[in-house]
Amino acid sequence: MPRNQALLAGLDLPRLLGCEIGPLDRPIVTPAMGRVLYVDHADTDSLRAKYATDPGVRTAAIPTVDHVWDAFGLDGLVAAHGPLDYVIASHVIEHVPDMIGWLRALGRALAPGGEIRLVVPDRRFCFDHHRAETTLADLLAAEVAAATRPSLAQIADYFLHVVEADAAAIWAGQPPPPPLVDAQRYAWAASVCREVQASGRYQDVHCWVFTPALCCRLLADLVGFGALAFECTLFRDTEPDGLEFLLGLRPSADATAAAASWRAAAARATAVPYRSRFGLLRR
């Protein structure tokens, strides 16, 4: 089943009110498919100006942004348009400095029975291949701090360990070589961190680095510990030659059953037959 078809499975788009976060110039849900509202970190004109010189972005295709994400999440959007039947975000969650707070904000925006559908990069098949995987402690620390920007540790990890990666080659058993962390690369990473610290500039990186199994296990823990209250309604593992997995989340008052649904999803993830500096890679 094609990615978008799997992501939207079970959603009767013409009858629902939905929201897509961060569509840029390639929205998954278009107005022709149903009533959809678009949310991003900046307004339409600012996005078009930001990407005006980026050959990979068709600035004319960036849709009108209905709501700019702020400290209140989607509360303003809901006040203006009503609760949402679904929220979609493709390759967004890994950028969010406070993942727990972000998911809570999405949950507040949902109508009864509403769902969150996510597309998440699998670090084994993208430029995060050699980066440190996210831990429960990382998520907790960001939530307690109410983080609004990537930490210096996350920025440093990115600039020290990011690599060029080809998903199909990795699936064929040819993982990218580890980055050469020499004095030059260390100085590069250090200079970025110092400049960000001094200027307060927002440096966008992947804050969170997951495999499918790891992500589901972390969600099982967060639900089981009462930090989140979502059950798993969709899990599609990373497919051969692909670099992303799909998740569906729905608010649930039954923490035991909800946590079990995430553990079951993690158990359905399979292994790939090679090793990296992290040991056997599992999805």
pLDDT of amino acid 48: 96
Share of the chain above pLDDT 70, in %: 96
Supply the pTM of this predicted model: 0.94
Contact present, 266 and 220 (Cβ < 8 Å): yes
What whole-number percentage of the chain has pLDDT above 90?
A: 94
Segment 183-209 shows an average pLDDT of 98
**pLDDT digit string, tens, across residues 117-160:** 999 999 999 999 999 999 999 999 999 999 999 999 999 999 99
Alpha-carbon gap, residue 14 to 2, rounded angstroms? 20
Res. 279: pLDDT tops 50 = no
- Whether 76 shows a pLDDT value over 50: the answer reads yes
Q: Do residues 116 and 106 make contact, with C-beta atoms less than 8 angstroms apart?
A: yes
Q: How far is CA 53 from CA 45, 48, 49, 281, in A?
A: 14, 9, 8, 37
Q: Does residue 118 or residue 278 have the better pLDDT? A: 118
12-66 pLDDT tens trace: 999 999 999 999 999 999 999 999 999 999 999 999 999 999 999 999 999 999 9
Q: Does 283 score more than 80 pLDDT? A: no
Whole-number pLDDT of residue 273: 53
C-alpha distances out from residue 149 to 153, 177, 209, Å: 11, 29, 16
What is the reported pLDDT for 280?
41
Whether residue 190 has pLDDT greater than 90: yes
Residue 282 confidence (pLDDT) above 90: no
Q: What is the mean pLDDT of the chain?
A: 94
Residue-wise pLDDT for 224-235, tens only, equals 999 999 999 999
Name the CA radius of gyration of the chain, rounded.
Answer: 19
- Give CA torsion, residues 234, 238, 240, 241, to 10 deg: 130
> How many helices (DSSP H) and strands (DSSP E) are in the chain?
10, 9
What pLDDT shows up at residue 169?
A: 93
Which band of pLDDT confidence, cut at 50, 70 and 90, is reported for residue 1?
Answer: confident
- Mean pLDDT, range 261-277, rounded to an integer: 78
pLDDT band at residue 275 under the 50/70/90 scheme:
very low
